[in-house]
Structure 1
Amino acid sequence: MAERPSKGARLKDVAERADVSIKTVSNVVRGQVRVAEPTRQRVLRAIAELDYRPHASARHLRTGRSGVIALAVPELVQPYFAELATAVIGAAAEHGVSVLIEDTGGDPAAELRAACGLSDPLIDGVLLSPRLLDQSALARRERRVPLVLLGERDYEVPADHVLIDNVAAAREATAHLLELGRRRVAAIGFQTNPAHATSQQRARGYHEALHAAGVPYDPELTPAVPDFQRMDGAAAMRGLLALPEPPDAVFCFSDLLASGALRAAYDHGLEVPRDLAIVGFDGIEETQFSVPSLSTVAPDKPQLAQLAVKALLARIAGDPDAPHTTQHATHRLVRRESSGAR
């Protein structure tokens, strides 16, 4: 069956423009066979010039694969997930694969539906960042579509997993504030629900840094928050500033929480970082442009996306029963004005 694109150009047209065989063009489009880089670039230029778009259903009938994967995240309105989605789309494009984005809203039923391939037979595999999906429900999923898990939840299920070391990252952020000489170091982001693994792991790193510095833990400095939104950070910061002895530094478990904390500090007449040092987490773009600019833990989102896409494509092309892997992307602490850097 001919692989006809949606806009008129054919596989043959691309091959003629790039001066290669139709098979070579198909290999580049599918991303399943290694093609010499100069040749691949020539084919990609021809594809762009002709606006060639492979027909997914035709490819699926011929190969059993559509070249489409899904990325399911809790909230696209969250800048972190929007930036991660952009990185995943870019990483997938390097392999000739398209990405369908699904916003689950953090709903366990929607997350399970995503883990089952969204009931779409044309989806080859799924990258899933779950928030509240129960491990037993995930283990019982009916459709065994290739799956790679993203994020902090520790599931004992047959799936590859890509994440960052949240405990180490939170420990590093808290230690940075302690090294500045601050001793009333608060943390905004504690959540009582044990399913919120992000909060649990970043809280652990916070505790470990305090212990290593010989600073006693003060529960008054760790207010619980319902979510990781700006309004939650602002409300928690206002409560901390109302204490008889308010904090002189705060580690926020997300950049949005830190943004809210910055606003509350400003409203309270404080100068950051002179009166209050603040560090966030996620490394989102807006942290560069806040006033003052926000120190933050920045996961390597492009690396995370590359690892996740490669793991999923390997699972799609390989043995579905091969041993599953856990891979860690790197992170770095970006020191900016909110913690004293200039």
Structure 2
Amino acid sequence: MAATLSDVAARAGVSIKTVSNVVNGTGRVGAATRERVEQVIEELGYRPNVSARSLRHGRSGVIALAVPEIGNQYFAELAELVVKAAEGYGWTVLIDQTEADPDRERLVLQGIRSHLIDGLLFVPGRMLKPADFAARTDTTPMVLLGERMTRVADRVAIDSYAAGRAATEHLIDLGRKRIASIGAAPSGDAVSRGRYEGYCDALVAAGIRPAARLVMPLRRWRQEKGVEAVERLLSLSKPPDAIFCSNDLLAHGALRALYDHGVRVPEDVAVVGIDDITENRYTRPSLTSIAPDKRHIAETAVGLLADRLKGSFSSAPREFIAGFHLEVRESTGG
């Protein structure tokens, strides 16, 4: 049988209230008493009843982070930072993978696990519409991460337009003229459109006319799609001398395809991505990338959720734009 509060109290020779104070970090308990209770808890293998605690306090101490793909290193790194930020509030993080499936994401919005969690951090995929968010009836506090939704909740994001423009301007500064874009599209979601428009505006500002043949819009931003896009670009009569990839996974695929075709990077083609995942340091050549401040994104999102849970804000949804910088590596000559 699992040990109970009563068992711990009897073994330690204290009241049940004292044990409860030690477990929950409440009340005043002397150091010696606390040490004795903690020792007994360890000896008996006592574990708090989370369900009972939730009923008493109205909180489970658990928040959820819903992301499209845990296998995408950007989301994995973001999740790690969210877990660290949540530890500061004594929270456990439940991580859910939606695979960017609209039906699964609608279930997340409608609170399929609301009985387990106090709050939700949600990174939507690309298929949800404003109406999906407007139809949400679940009252669990929610913070959105990204630019794929209307302002229906607190939101943390980076400026995709500015990121796309900064990446392209870096390639222009290298003297490149035939700059291709892989991933972003004028008819895509807010992230895709923002990065595409930043790319185009950087070219126009430099007196370079955007060429449709150098734009490779993609729905899925994965390594294999980067390979396929570069295969098409290299078949052109005038291949690009630089490639802007809308995320690092596409850039990794691009680097592989260029290597397979004997194209030198950065001598023949310079490559830049977005996200600055850890793997970029170990590709060959190492990848230049726009580096969002992921730690700030995670800490801000968790902080916003904490505000809502404390009832600190009853105002309209708040929006925070995180900063970024360009991390120059070998793929552009760094």
CA distance in 2, matches of 1:224, 1:242: 17
CA distance in 2, matches of 1:321, 1:219: 47
From the superposition, tell whether residues 283 and 183 of structure 1 become closer, same or farther in structure 2 (CA, over 3 Å).
Answer: same
Per-residue deviation, 1:255? 0.6
Give the letter aligned to residue 123 of structure 1: I
CA distance in 1, matches of 2:323, 2:182: 23
Partner of 2:151: 156
TM-score, scaled to structure 1: 0.84
Per-residue deviation, 1:11? 10
**1:202-213 paired onto structure 2 within 5 Å:** 202-213=195-206
Check the 8 A contact 2:292/2:325 in 1, yes or no.
Answer: yes
Describe the SS at the equivalent of 2:237. coil
Describe the SS at the equivalent of 2:314. coil
Partner of 1:88: 82
Partner of 1:120: 114
Q: 2:295 aligns with which of 302, 306, 317?
A: 302
From the superposition, tell whether residues 141 and 154 of structure 1 become closer, same or farther in structure 2 (CA, over 3 Å).
Answer: closer
From the superposition, tell whether residues 67 and 10 of structure 1 become closer, same or farther in structure 2 (CA, over 3 Å).
Answer: farther
Describe the SS at the equivalent of 1:155. coil
Q: 1:170 aligns with which of 144, 155, 164?
A: 164
Describe the SS at the equivalent of 1:106. coil
Show structure 1 runs of 5+ residues with no match: 29-38
Partner of 1:102: 96
Q: 2:213 aligns with which of 220, 237, 249?
A: 220
Q: Percent of counterpart pairs with the same letter?
A: 44
Partner of 2:65: 71
Q: 1:284 aligns with which of 277, 285, 290?
A: 277
Give the letter aligned to residue 65 of structure 1: R
Check the 8 A contact 1:117/1:125 in 2, yes or no.
Answer: no
Q: 2:130 aligns with which of 135, 145, 166?
A: 135
From the superposition, tell whether residues 102 and 4 of structure 1 become closer, same or farther in structure 2 (CA, over 3 Å).
Answer: farther
TM-score, scaled to structure 2: 0.86
Q: 1:144 aligns with which of 120, 139, 145?
A: 139
Describe the SS at the equivalent of 2:93. strand
CA distance in 1, matches of 2:7, 2:257: 56
Describe the SS at the equivalent of 1:246. coil
Partner of 1:33: none
Cα RMSD after superposing both structures: 3.0
Larger deviation: 177-186 or 324-333?
324-333
Describe the SS at the equivalent of 2:217. coil
Partner of 1:339: 332
From the superposition, tell whether residues 135 and 217 of structure 1 become closer, same or farther in structure 2 (CA, over 3 Å).
Answer: same
Give the letter aligned to residue 101 of structure 2: D
Show structure 2 runs of 5+ residues with no match: none
Per-residue deviation, 1:337? 0.1
Partner of 1:269: 262
From the superposition, tell whether residues 56 and 265 of structure 1 become closer, same or farther in structure 2 (CA, over 3 Å).
Answer: same
CA distance in 1, matches of 2:10, 2:56: 17
Q: Decide which structure has the larger Cα Rg and report it.
A: 2
Describe the SS at the equivalent of 1:223. strand
CA distance in 1, matches of 2:233, 2:191: 22
Check the 8 A contact 1:70/1:117 in 2, yes or no.
Answer: no
Q: For this pair of structures, how many residues does the alignment match?
A: 317
Describe the SS at the equivalent of 2:64. strand
Give the letter aligned to residue 227 of structure 1: R
